[in-house]
Amino acid sequence: MMQLQNFIGGQLVAPAAGRYLPLVEPATGQVFAQVPDSDAADVDAAVQAAEVALPAWRALPAEERGRLLVRLAELIEQNLDRLARAESQDNGKPLSLARTLDIPRAASNFAFFGTAAQHFSSEAHVQEGVAVNYTVRHPLGVVACISPWNLPLYLFTWKIAPALAAGCCVVAKPSEVTPYTAFLLSGLAQEAGLPAGVLNIVHGTGPGAGQALIEHPGIRAISFTGGTRTGQHIARSAAPQFKKLSLELGGKNPNLVFADCDLTEAVRTSIRSSFANQGQICLCGSRIFVERPVYEQFKAEFLAQVQALTVGDPLLETTRQGALVSEAHLQKVLSYIDLAHQEGGRLLTGGHRVQVPGRCADGFFLEPTVFEGLAPDCRVNQEEIFGPVVTLTPFDTEEEALHWANGTDYGLSATIWTRDLTRAHRVAHQLHAGVVWVNTWLHRDLRTPFGGMKNSGVGREGGLEALRFFTEPQNVCVKL
Ligand code: NAD
């Protein structure tokens, strides 16, 4: 059986205590590898390796750091098929999605930040004849990057790339549920010639390796993407040591469909925004509010397309819905389907586990599921389900739609469908969401600030925001 290893000081190494966790392929339910169950000793070794590498790495010109990151991007592109297969096997997502979204984006993350560091500059404030102030942005030092299971390599590299570009050294922990591509990245980092210790990857559980990492006194900042509850816990642990925090957390995103929109496009894209990656994207729009005059038409066209989504073996080109990430997660999503029935929802389609024949007979498959008739303040419409379950609700006025859209503890993203440009801006500005899409979804420009309001997070990543996060400004004042 394949045994993954940690990546510490430029070497692939076994966990100090020799403990491993089983890694399950969601599409088959079978164990296919073992992943290190690392502990504080492994984390400490990784932080020490990063500290040793730091002086030379931060002293390298940004251009040279960038060249290595661009090289890593090229290697990811060259290994597209291998990485996409690994991601699909590890996570259950359709291979076609991993090949067109996850892995290309991982390459873009390194290419983007590899060059962005050269465009990063700091300010000068001149007081004529009196003094000149300039700002130096120092790399923070050794930082932690912790990522979730839904977009494994995509989100892992989204954090690592800007940290390295800014001159920090990294100890990164991927999700223990989907560590395979992070392990493969270790080999590519070696091949790219990244100096030993600049990037360290420690595998293991949240309470084990994760907790040791966030508590380690050598870690100056934590960039975390994951659940809101874990984010709260990390904030509590990190606060006494004054660690800088970037927290990208959960969402319960609204999708507002106004009657004047291009309905064909709204339906087509809402299928993606509801069910892409089996609904396991933090930006998925799980609460669909439709203006009453087009509600029945939207519903009919939407349901027809939902029923045409093929659930099956992620390796098949025809598959649109792969497996959910684990049996435990499938059970959690099924419990919300039960709750939707209890809360008075009408099931319009889906709602059941799917038995896929052949090699996937023991996989974690679920029908894409749509409910209507649920109150906007019920639990199903308030809590993050993070699966292929959406609700449809008609609305009568813009105010009502905004009130419901904003009526959760979350504030990550929102989508608006309308042809009225004035309304689009007006509604966008009133939505409590860090990202608002108008007539599109998951359109990402890596230069834009990314992050959530309210319980969806603290801080922004993306573009120069990420480089600012991983650096500390210093004011130097010179008397003229
Ligand atoms: P999770 O919070 O359970 O785990 C995320 C990561 O944190 C994992 O690597 C885990 O091992 C680690 N972790 C857990 N406990 C820890 C601890 N005590 N100390 C340090 N690390 C710890 O989340 P998940 O189930 O892997 O991912 C799903 C969640 O992620 C959803 O809520 C989703 O909305 C959110 N998410 C948010 C974004 C965003 O950009 N806002 C993107 C993707 C996913």
* pLDDT tens-digit readout, 312-349: 999 999 999 999 999 999 999 999 999 999 999 999 99
Tell the residue number behind the tokens 């380690």, with chain if given: 216
Whichever domain contains 348, its CATH number is: 3.40.309.10
Catalytic residue flag (residue 248)? yes
Give yes or no: residues 10 and 87 share one domain: yes
Burial class (CB in 10 A: 0-12, 13-18, 19+), 5: middle
User: Can you spell out the DSSP letters for 265-321?
Assistant: HHHHHHHHHHHGGGG-STT-EEEEEEEHHHHHHHHHHHHHHHHTPPB--TTSTT-SB
> Which residue's CA is minimally distant from atom 36 of ligand 1?
226
Same domain, 200 and 262: no
Q: What's the maximum distance between 2 C-alpha atoms anywhere in the chain?
A: 80
- Given a contact cutoff of 8 angstroms between Cβ atoms, the answer to whether 457 and 451 are in contact is yes
For the chain, how many structural domains are there in total? 2
Task: Say yes or no: CB of residue 149 within 6 Å of ligand 1.
Answer: yes
Q: How far is the CA of 249 from the centre of ligand 1 (A)?
A: 7
Specify the amino acid at residue 304. Answer: A
Residues 436 and 464 in one domain: no
Split at pLDDT 50, 70, 90, the class of 305 is very high
Q: Do residues 232 and 369 both lie within one domain?
A: no
Ligand 1 atom nearest residue 228's Cα? 32
Same domain for 218 and 71? yes
Atom of ligand 1 nearest to the CA of 456: 41
Q: Identify the domain containing residue 465 by its residue range.
A: 2-249+456-479
Same-domain check for residues 300 and 350: yes
Q: What is the CATH number of the domain that holds 92?
A: 3.40.605.10
pLDDT value of residue 21: 98
Enter the tokens of residue 287.
């609460």
**Structure token digits, residue 250:** 């959960």
Residues 84 and 199 in one domain: yes
| Ligand 1 geometric centre to CA of 159 (Å) | 13
The reply to whether 59 and 175 lie within a common domain is yes
Q: What confidence tier does 194 reach under pLDDT thresholds 50, 70, 90?
A: very high
250 CB under 6 A from ligand 1?
Answer: yes
Average pLDDT over residues 415-441: 98
- Report the run of H or E that residue 282 belongs to, with start and end: none
Together in a domain, 176 and 223: yes
Question: Best substitution site from 216, 225, 325 to test ligand 1's pocket, by max atoms within 8 Å of Cβ?
Answer: 225
Tell me the CA–centroid distance for residue 146 and ligand 1, in Å: 8
Tens-digit pLDDT profile for residues 134-160? 999 999 999 999 999 999 999 999 999
In the DSSP assignment, the letter for residue 276 is G
User: What's the average model confidence in pLDDT over 75-82?
Assistant: 98
374 and 468 assigned to the same domain: no
pLDDT tens-digit profile of 28-70?
A: 999 999 999 999 999 999 999 999 999 999 999 999 999 999 9
Element containing residue 460 per DSSP (H, E): none
Q: Are residues 244 and 319 in the same domain?
A: no
- Nearest CA to 321 out of 286, 292, 356, 346 is that of 356
Q: Which atom of ligand 1 is nearest to the CA of 175?
A: 9
pLDDT at 26: 99
- Residue tagged active-site, from 248, 367, 384, 461: 248
Q: Is the CB of 372 under 6 A from ligand 1?
A: no
3-state percent helix, strand, coil for the chain, nearest multiple of 5: 45, 25, 35
Do 128 and 228 share a domain, yes or no?
yes
Collapsing DSSP to helix, strand or coil, 393 comes out as: strand
Determine whether the shortest distance from the Cβ of 225 to ligand 1 is under 6 A.
yes
8 Å CB contact between 195 and 10: yes
